[in-house]
Amino acid sequence: MTDTQDKTNDMPGHLARRFQQIAVAVFLAEVEQAGFDLTPVQYAALAAIHANPGIDQITLAGLIAYDRTTITGVIDRLVQKGLVLRQASSRDRRARELQITEAGQQTFRAITPAVEAAQQIMLRGLTETEARELVRLLQKAIAAGNELSRAPLRDGTGEPG
Amino acid sequence: MTDTQDKTNDMPGHLARRFQQIAVAVFLAEVEQAGFDLTPVQYAALAAIHANPGIDQITLAGLIAYDRTTITGVIDRLVQKGLVLRQASSRDRRARELQITEAGQQTFRAITPAVEAAQQIMLRGLTETEARELVRLLQKAIAAGNELSRAPLRDGTGEPG
DNA sequence: TGATATTGATCAGTATACTGATCATCAGTA
DNA sequence: TACTGATGATCAGTATACTGATCAATATCA
């Protein structure tokens, strides 16, 4: 039954999917154990809003490489949880300014140790050196492929981040 | 506007998501350019059925590390495209046996060059040595984290693959 | 100024992934 | 054989990601 000819498990694309799958599972498990209910995507958005108060949704999407149609739902859920405030911008009435709430700040601070623990756990099979090398290689591959997805990383100026 | 304090883009979990995002985009672009309409997930399932005719859905899910509730929809779409046949097993009336059709075989053969090209493109920022090292590190990390997701890899015997 | 193009945000629809439940069937045992 | 537990498959519901369309508001330029 074992398929020795199948090359799926050697393909970078398949490995990418599998590693992400494990990363999400580890993240959710650690965060739940710490008593919180937040997805990896929601955490990254919360962190970016924390670091950039008043940011609009498109700029936020660029900072964390989310699709513009995905970010709407993510912010919806953060607002519903009371962690983020969304209000119309006075400078540009098309845009929504995002602020982190007091509860959002508390959650962000309290949850961060669990998030960092998750990063260790998802690399537990690697030595320290290997873990650093994996991060370096992923960053290099991602930088070269940045423009290939619909949701590339952008800094605040429209240039690649 | 650039947030120098934000560590999101150094986190393995975030890099995992981003790399997978690029991998899927590259795969879909190459496959579409070759004149086909198949997702990475559908391709992996098709390849596994090709290599293991008559396999049931649970075993298939284990071979490519898919969730059992996800595989139902994936097979639905492959059947609808006429690439796969799903029929009740005579040995176990709970199970569905999967077969690749003639059209499925043709598609699988014709699409494989595009799939392999996609693997090169998603690693275009890396040297050959770096690409091999990335694959090795991903495999090692995934092997160590295999049991941490709901959809671990399994060979045909229930042992980790 | 007025027409055009662009931009921020959202929506409808599709495809993974997951949680947890249900149903039919099968296997093992008292 | 009847009971119990395990297993294959599916379903309802939620959360990313994406394609492509739409709408309001802004920017640009003839």
User: What is the tens place of the pLDDT at every residue in A45-96?
Assistant: 999 999 999 999 999 999 999 999 999 999 999 999 999 999 999 999 999 9
Q: Which pLDDT score is estimated for B52?
A: 97
Contact assessment for residue A11 and residue A61, using Cβ atoms and an 8 Å cutoff: no
B123 pLDDT above the threshold of 50: yes
Q: Which pLDDT score is estimated for B9?
A: 87
B129 pLDDT above the threshold of 90: yes
Does 1.10.10.10 match the CATH number of domain B15-148? yes
User: Closest to A47 (Cβ–Cβ): which among B8, B21, B118?
Assistant: B8
* Contact between the CB of A66 and strand D at under 7 Å: yes
pLDDT band at B2; cut points 50, 70, 90: very low
Q: How distant is C1' of D30 from CA of B149, in Å?
A: 60
Look at B20 and A20 and tell me if their CB atoms are within 8 Å: yes
Which chain A residues have a beta carbon less than 8 Å from that of B5?
Answer: 51
Q: Which pLDDT score is estimated for B155?
A: 81
B158 pLDDT above the threshold of 70: no
CA nearest neighbour of A39 among A132, A135, A107: A107
Structural fold of domain A13-148:
Arc Repressor Mutant, subunit A (1.10.10)
User: Closest to A25 (Cβ–Cβ): which among B12, B149, B155?
Assistant: B149
Long-range contacts of B147-152 (CB under 8 A, 24+ apart): B148/A22, B148/A25, B148/A26, B148/A29, B148/A121, B148/A122, B149/A21, B149/A22, B149/A24, B149/A25, B149/B65, B150/A25, B150/B67, B151/A21, B151/B61, B151/B65, B151/B66, B151/B67, B151/B68, B151/B70, B152/B62, B152/B65
pLDDT in tens, A116-152: 999 999 999 999 999 999 999 999 999 999 999 999 9
Contact assessment for residue B149 and residue A21, using Cβ atoms and an 8 Å cutoff: yes
Q: How far is A80 from chain B (nearest CA, A)?
A: 23
Which chain B residues have a beta carbon less than 8 Å from that of A160?
Answer: none
Q: How far apart are CA A122 and CA A113, in angstroms?
A: 15
Instruction: Name the residue type at position B135.
Output: V
* Contact between the CB of A95 and strand C at under 7 Å: yes
* Contact between the CB of B23 and strand D at under 7 Å: no
Q: What is the mean pLDDT of residues B34-40?
A: 98
Look at A141 and B155 and tell me if their CB atoms are within 8 Å: no
Three-state DSSP class for residue B56: strand
Q: Which pLDDT score is estimated for B157?
A: 56
Q: Which pLDDT score is estimated for B161?
A: 40
pLDDT in tens, B73-96: 999 999 999 999 999 999 999 999
Domain ranges for chain B = 15-148
Q: Which pLDDT score is estimated for A157?
A: 56
Contact assessment for residue B100 and residue B84, using Cβ atoms and an 8 Å cutoff: yes
Which chain A residues have a beta carbon less than 8 Å from that of B24?
Answer: 13, 17, 149
Tokens encoding B64: 């490519």
pLDDT in tens, B46-73: 999 999 999 999 999 999 999 999 999 9
